[in-house]
Structure 1
Amino acid sequence: MKSVLKTPPDAAIPADHTALTTKVAAEVESGTMNGPPVSPRTGRKLPRNYDVMHLALRLVCVSASVASVVVMTTAKEKSTISLYGFNLPVYSKWSFSDSFDYLVGVSAAAAVHSFLQLLITSRMLLKKSSAISSRKQAWLIFAGDQVFAYAMMSAGSAASGVTNLNRTGIKHSSLPDFCKPLHSFCDRVALSIAFAFFSCFLLAMSAVLDVVWLSEY
């Protein structure tokens, strides 16, 4: 008598399981799934400290940009200067220079940009999601960080030229060093410029983190 071997029928896959798998795959592909994003190329998750570094950079950048604006807009001083043997009153204010106006405007714009990114990052972290949810968002943030980093460098360089002229005077002329009687004004301007360059550095570091995210995800 022959024995007949019966092949067990294939297990049926529930429809809801298939739908769930499709949904998860779509979330991973789009980067909207909760938790650190998974790279489709490497299969690895980005470390959580990336989001923490991103948040810290934004917070410090906002502080530095606001400090640059506040210190510059409070820079003004009255004094006297000796010219051809005469004591002349001098008064200096940050708004008298177009370069200082430019620095204040760019610093304020960079502060707004960093503050908005800080709010978005904090909101995403509270939801236990990645600070950047998609490649499109990463490219937009990278472009913004690049633009403001170069703008801060330009503004800081322009303001530095005016400050250096005030400290050294004009060669081959009798115009003196204006920072000698207006030392408090010049010190405030120099401090504001230092904060501006620091903000530029922070924005550049943030752009590097954006590149790391784009290369990994």
Structure 2
Amino acid sequence: MSYLGVGVSPGNVPVYHGTNLKVMERRMRVVELVLRFVICGLGLVAAILVGTDTQIKEIFSIQKKAKFTNMKALVFLVIANGIAAGYSLLQGLRCVVSMVRGNELFSKPLAWLIFSGDQVMAYVTVAALAAAAQSSVFAKFGQPELQWMKTCNMYEKFCNQAGEGIASTLFVCLSTVLVSCISAFNLFRLYGDNKGKSSARW
């Protein structure tokens, strides 16, 4: 039973096919393309904000310079955002070429490669964000029990710019998670198609 290109499975779950399936696939490809360039842009912004973040403070006639390399979590954040931006740029260009040529993703090895890469990027960016967020909390509020002072009181500009980079990384993380969901759908859909074709033969 079908109505306007929408079939109903035995479990009453809508199954799209025909024209509706092509429209849904086209929209997903556009969403994937937008998300990949969002990751590229915001990842680059976050890496630049944190990587160029410095502030010099004079304490008792001694100049002390704060920079992102003083905090390992921020170094990890810069590296993770740089890798995510470069990877997403390559994948975004692949999406553009695929859309221009009108090619569909039918290769299982390529689908597995894209899925694995997207999963790695999602985990890396989430880990970098978590580490940077934890370090920023200590820098903002300190830890009296361990005699860690509130460094953001002295390096306010440095902390503000680092916070902007961490905020950009948050959107990068959300986008990588969404992209990994799309790549998972594209991968397992190939197995679903094959299963459906096999059952049709029987």
TM-score range for the pair, normalised by the shorter chain length = 0.7 to 0.9
RMSD over aligned Cα atoms: 2.2
Query: Distance between the aligned counterparts of 2:85 and 2:145, measured in 1?
Result: 41
Query: Distance between the aligned counterparts of 1:137 and 1:214, measured in 2?
Result: 9
> Which residue is 2:45 aligned to?
67
Query: Distance between the aligned counterparts of 1:89 and 1:174, measured in 2?
Result: 22
2:110 aligned with 1:137 = yes
Q: Answer whether contact 2:115 2:187 (CA < 8 A) is retained.
A: no
Q: How many residues align?
A: 172
Q: 1:76 to 1:212 in 2, by over 3 A?
A: same
2:147 aligned with 1:169 = no
Q: After superposition, what is the alpha-carbon deviation per residue over 1:97-119, rounded to whole angstroms, capped at 9, x for unaligned?
A: 22111111111111111111011
Shift of 1:54: 1.2
Q: 1:101 to 1:173 in 2, by over 3 A?
A: closer
> Which residue is 1:160 aligned to?
133
Query: Distance between the aligned counterparts of 1:216 and 1:42, measured in 2?
Result: 12
Query: Distance between the aligned counterparts of 2:143 and 2:17, measured in 1?
Result: 62
Q: Alignment partner of 1:201: what SS?
A: helix
Q: Alignment partner of 2:49: what SS?
A: helix
Q: Alignment partner of 1:176: what SS?
A: coil
Q: Alignment partner of 1:146: what SS?
A: helix
Q: After superposition, what is the alpha-carbon deviation per residue over 1:105-154, rounded to whole angstroms, capped at 9, x for unaligned?
A: 11111111111101111111111223x34232222111111111111111
Q: Answer whether contact 1:62 1:111 (CA < 8 A) is retained.
A: yes
Larger % of helix: which? 2
2:155 aligned with 1:182 = yes
2:33 aligned with 1:55 = yes
Query: Distance between the aligned counterparts of 2:148 and 2:109, measured in 1?
Result: 54
Q: Answer whether contact 1:146 1:207 (CA < 8 A) is retained.
A: yes
Q: Alignment partner of 2:144: what SS?
A: coil
Name the aligned partner's letter for residue 53 of structure 1.
Answer: V
Q: Answer whether contact 2:57 2:63 (CA < 8 A) is retained.
A: yes
Shift of 1:87: 7.5
> Which residue is 2:178 aligned to?
205
Query: Distance between the aligned counterparts of 1:133 and 1:122, measured in 2?
Result: 17
Q: Alignment partner of 2:44: what SS?
A: helix
Residue ranges of structure 1 left out of the alignment (5+ in a row): 1-40
Q: After superposition, what is the alpha-carbon deviation per residue over 1:6-40, rounded to whole angstroms, capped at 9, x for unaligned?
A: xxxxxxxxxxxxxxxxxxxxxxxxxxxxxxxxxxx
Name the aligned partner's letter for residue 210 of structure 1.
Answer: S
Shift of 1:215: 3.8
**Any runs of at least 4 consecutive aligned residues in structure 1 with deviations exceeding 6 A, and if so which?**
none
Q: Answer whether contact 2:118 2:183 (CA < 8 A) is retained.
A: no
Percent pairwise identity:
24
2:91 aligned with 1:117 = yes
Query: Distance between the aligned counterparts of 1:203 and 1:64, measured in 2?
Result: 11
Query: Distance between the aligned counterparts of 2:58 and 2:145, measured in 1?
Result: 22
2:73 aligned with 1:99 = yes
Name the aligned partner's letter for residue 85 of structure 2.
Answer: A
Query: Distance between the aligned counterparts of 2:147 and 2:177, measured in 1?
Result: 42
